[in-house]
Amino acid sequence: MRRRVKRVFDLLVVLPAVVLAAPLIVAIAAAIRLQLGKPVMFRQLRPGKDGRPFTLLKFRTMTAACDDRGTLLSDAQRITRLGGFLRSTSLDELPQLWNVVRGDMSLVGPRPLLMEYLLRYTQQQARRHQVLPGITGWAQVNGRNALSWEEKFELDTWYVDHWSLALDMAILWRTAWRVITREGISQEGHATMEEFRGSTRCSE
For the chain, the domains span 2-181
Tell me if the bond preceding 39 is cis, omega within 30° of 0.
Answer: yes
**Looking at 22-26, 37-41, 184-188, 192-196, which range is the least confident one?**
184-188
Task: Give the model confidence (pLDDT) of 138-171 as tens digits.
Answer: 999 998 777 889 999 999 999 999 999 999 999 9
Q: What angle do CA 181, 86, 98 make, to 5 degrees?
A: 105
Task: Give the model confidence (pLDDT) of 30-65 as tens digits.
Answer: 999 999 999 999 999 999 999 999 999 999 999 888
**Rounded Cα–Cα distance for residues 49 and 3 (Å):** 12
